[in-house]
Structure 1
Amino acid sequence: MTDMENTTEFPLIISVDDHTVEPARVWQDRLPKKFLDTGPRVVRAPLKEMTFLGGHFKPVMGEKGDEGPLGDWWLFENLRRPLTRLDTAVGFSRDEIRLEVITYDQMRPGSYDVPERLTDMDVNHVRSAVCFPTFPRFCGQTFTEASDRELGLLCVRAYNDWMVEEWCGPQARGRLIPLTLIPLWDAELAAAEVRRNAARGVRAVAFSEIPPHLGLPSVHSDAWDPFLAACDETGTVIAMHIGSSSRMPSTSKDAPPAVGSTITFANCCFSMVDWLMSGKFERFPNLKVMYAEGQIGWIPYILERADVVWEENRGWGGVADKVHRPPSELFADHVYGCFFDDAFGLRNLDAIGVGNVLYETDYPHSDSTWPKSREVGEAQMGHLDADTVDRIVRRNAIDLLGLTADGLWPGPR
């Protein structure tokens, strides 16, 4: 009998990567009147065509009266983005999940409704959860691409107000943990937004895994320093989700989605090496970063290779003057890998670090382990002792995100 089998209860899960599908009126209720016709809003319209190849999603909205399946579409300036079954797939069998447009009426209510979300969390043995956005994309790229910067900034702030005051508001009872956005196009404005939200108890902010893919500076530059300083000072964790560079890994323009889905961790791998070789952890010693949905099995070799390069090649490798410790040591102090289904990584936990691993359920996406996240965890962690399981499933997240001992967001300070 394993140590896990000796325990009476698998710990209540703190998921560091779930998702919210924003209700239709988030921005219409918060933007100034002059922006209501160009700000985010929802219309029901037919789908003309839609492809997802080579990591690129291309939907085309039809006109009123056109034939085609009806879906709810987000409109923002010139953007037309439909809700799809991949945004909210829980409750459907794997074989029923297709790339298709849907309406709010066709999705599970827990995707956008707080009481229903709490009910679905109860079904899945989940105590609390961090939720990434849907329409803004995983780090607010939608608003970064806005032609009107004033509108983009107002949209970021409106989303954050909704996230803190409503999604994570009183009816959530501390079980939903806020994750906010920043205006990625201006590091000073980003720093101000981090501090504004930290003042009301927020401890996590979304960021891009590879900013240059968005036309933004890399973490090797000094451009992000105001933002990083704000995170360092406030204890705000930088959360990077796969796809937050708006470029999912793929191999060719005609590669089917299955190729990209297999190698989703790749951008996390590249990003982590960027951070470890950037010198930012030396300059900002309180900085913490986490990789949502990146899984963890790839981490040991990357750390091994990074240490070899740092030891043998740092002189000509351009890092001798700014990276003064082995990358694996920096990882241990600053980086967290997040997983929902990674038996291989758990078998190699000693090479990663028990304190650097967080659990997630990915509700309501197609990859989600809902409603069997507990069963998946029990099966994959059966070889681990109870204390290690407790750290992975809840305690690491409690420490990182400043939660109560019971795993709840304490709310505004």
Structure 2
Amino acid sequence: MASIPKIISVDDHTVEPPHVWRDRLPAKFLDVGPRIVRAPVKEMTFVGGRFAPVMGATGDDGPMADWWIYEDLHRPLTRLDTAVGCSRDEVRLKGITYDEMRPGSYSVPERLADMDRNHVQSALCFPTFPRFCGQTFTEAKDRELGLLGVRAYNDWMVEEWCGPDARGRLIPLALVPLWDADLAAAEVRRNAARGVRAVCFSEIPPHLGLPSVHTDAWDPFLRACAETGTVVAMHIGSSSRMPSTSADAPPAVGSTITFANCCFSLTDWLMSGVFDRFPGLRVMYAEGQIGWIPYILERADVVWAENRGWGGVAGKVLRPPSELFAAHVYGCFFDDAFGLRNLDAIGVGNVLYETDYPHSDSTWPRSREVAEEQMGHLAPDVVERIVRGNAIELLGLTEEGLWAGAGSA
């Protein structure tokens, strides 16, 4: 059985505490900026890949939840946001309050304790209320407030969540204002100057009404990432559209095929010419798993070799897609025995491990045991690269696997 070194998880999540924007926005925005209100849940559905909650009025009957209110948005905290510590049968689509979640979801000391319990040394955490690439602020009406909201989140992430109390064990992941590539580039550079080496982005930007990666619209942002060594991190669902088959498909359908958006997104990037224009650029797919990657690369290489003349990529994509993948792309997984059995077809250097704390799919507190069960056939040096070595290189961590930016000890 493989001996598992301390894990560096590249996909965990933070549930932002209520004070993040209240403490950082100008006073004139406090009544319209993100804030928490406790109110009943009138209705909540998640069908066909669409989440649709309805907040009840004061005095209405119904289960209580803590709701994020921002402009016209009403978004409750749910059990799916933070399910660790609950039995699988208790994990249902329902609203919850901060009192009903494991404190490690939002509190640094408790998070570190839960990481210790799970054999995790360091963790990169995606947002909850802003959504996986900051769509909440991109969709806002007031652009000035949206930009302030993005910057406030990043300041909280660097100064508090990943601040001195985290002792370098929490790794910052920034947001950018997706509605303006120049502003996004400036935010990448602002955070890179204080040691941040990862930024959220959408897996399929056109689903958000934004340009695709086949245009040059993102060039200022991508150039900033390439020049600062900032990895572009794309989480499943960061297009605000979870894959589904029909409008009435139950969530189990989407949960089974969550990797599908990653397939579409990776093909976009490989056929875009972006990696030839920005040789230093690197991207990662969080929670997409890895078992699907070999066939996509095989098929993409065939299309590039045989059909590029009419396929719109001649003169733009200069190398086989599999070579581009090897040099620029990282797949992330938490439970993928099939992918690990086919590691040679993916690339040892292109795989990262994750625990997905505190979501319902999380392997916490058994991430070490899951790794032992699935990696027992691998050599120790390969295991080390997957569970921590590749992450250290990609995220610019210390040899000990810690973040050495501002605020770390």
What corresponds to 1:177 in structure 2? 171
| Alignment of 1:409 onto 2:403 | yes
Instruction: Tell me the CA shift for residue 143 of structure 1.
Output: 0.2
Match of 1:380 among 340, 352, 374: 374
RMSD: 0.7
Question: Is 1:155 aligned to 2:161, yes or no?
Answer: no
Distance 1:411 1:93 in 2: 37
Structure 2 residue aligned with 1:102, among 87, 96, 99?
96
2:23 aligned partner: 29
Deviations 1:270-291 (A, max 9, x none): 0000000000000000000000
Structure-1 residue corresponding to 2:33: 39
- Which of 131, 137, 142 aligns to 1:137? It is 131
Q: 2: distance between equivalents of 1:294 and 1:366?
A: 15
SS at match of 2:69: strand
* Local SS of the residue matching 2:298: helix
Distance 1:12 1:408 in 2: 12
Structure 1, unpaired ranges of 5+: none
Structure 2 unaligned blocks of 5 or more: none
Q: Which amino acid aligns with 2:369?
A: E
Cα distance in 2 for partners of 1:11, 1:319 equals 42
Question: Following the alignment from structure 1 to structure 2, what is the Cα–Cα distance between the partners of residues 215 and 412?
Answer: 35
Amino acid at match of 1:153: L
Question: In structure 1, how many angstroms separate the alpha carbons of the residues matched to 2:108 and 2:255?
Answer: 29
Q: 2:206 maps to which residue?
A: 212
Report if aligned partners of 2:36, 2:68 keep a CA contact under 8 Å in 1.
yes
Q: Give how far 1:412 is off.
A: 2.5
Name the SS of the counterpart of 2:19 in structure 1: coil
* Identity among equivalent pairs (%): 83
Q: Secondary structure at the match of 1:336?
A: strand
Q: Aligned partner of 1:278: which letter? A: S
Which one of the candidate residues 281, 284, 287 is aligned to 2:281? 287
CA contact (8 A) 1:30 1:158 kept: yes
The equivalent of 1:76 in structure 2 is: 70
Paired residue type of 1:15: S
Equivalence for 1:189:
183
Report the 3-state secondary structure (helix = DSSP H, G, I; strand = E; otherwise coil) of the residue aligned with 1:26: helix
For 2:241 and 2:40, how far apart are their aligned partners in 1?
A: 26
- Displacement after TM superposition at 1:226 (Å): 0.2
Residue 364 (1) aligns with residue 364 (2): no
2:216 maps to which residue?
Answer: 222
CA contact (8 A) 2:163 2:406 kept: no
In the aligned structure 2, how far is the partner of 1:299 from the partner of 1:394? 21
What is the match of residue 269 of structure 2? 275
Q: CA deviation at 1:208?
A: 0.1
Q: CA deviation at 1:411?
A: 1.5
1:203 has 2:175 as partner:
no
Contact (CA 8 Å) 1:124, 1:374: kept in 2 or not?
A: yes
Give the distance between the partners of 1:251 and 1:351, measured in 2 at CA. 29
Which among 11, 17, 20 is matched to residue 17 of structure 1? 11
Partner in structure 1 of residue 303 of structure 2: 309
In 1, the alpha carbon distance for the partners of 2:24 and 2:252 equals 39
Q: Does 1:60 align with 2:54?
A: yes
Counterpart selection for 1:396 from 374, 380, 390: 390
Q: Is the 8 A contact 1:199 1:412 kept in 2?
A: no
- Structure 1 residue 126 and structure 2 residue 120: aligned? yes
* In structure 2, distance between residues paired with 1:277 and 1:317: 10
Report if the CA contact (8 A) 1:86-1:366 is conserved. yes
- In structure 1, the residue matched to 2:159 is 165
TM-score with structure 2 setting the length: 0.99
Tell me, yes or no, if the aligned pair for 2:45 and 2:53 is still in contact at 8 Å. Answer: yes
* TM-superposition CA deviations, 1:295-328 (whole Å, max 9, x none): 0000000000000000000000010111111000
Cα deviations by residue, 1:201-228 (Å, 9 ceiling, x for unpaired): 0000000000000000000000000000
Q: State the alpha-carbon separation in 2 of the partners of residues 37 and 17 from structure 1.
A: 32
TM normalised by structure 1 equals: 0.98
Q: Secondary structure at the match of 2:22?
A: coil
Inter-partner Cα distance in structure 2 for 1:125 and 1:365: 17
| Structure 1 counterpart of 2:183, one-letter code | L
Aligned to 2:327: 333
Deviation string 1:147-194 (CA, Å, 9 cap, x unpaired) is 000000000000000000000000000000000000000000000000
* Residues paired across the two proteins, number: 407
* In structure 2, distance between residues paired with 1:67 and 1:56: 24
Confirm or deny that 1:90 pairs with 2:90: no
Runs of 4+ in 1 over 6 A off after TM superposition: none
**How far, CA to CA, are the matches of 2:289 and 2:187 in structure 1?**
29
Return the offset for 1:96.
Answer: 1.1
2:4 and 2:296 map into 1 onto residues whose CA distance is 31
1:349 matched to 2:340: no
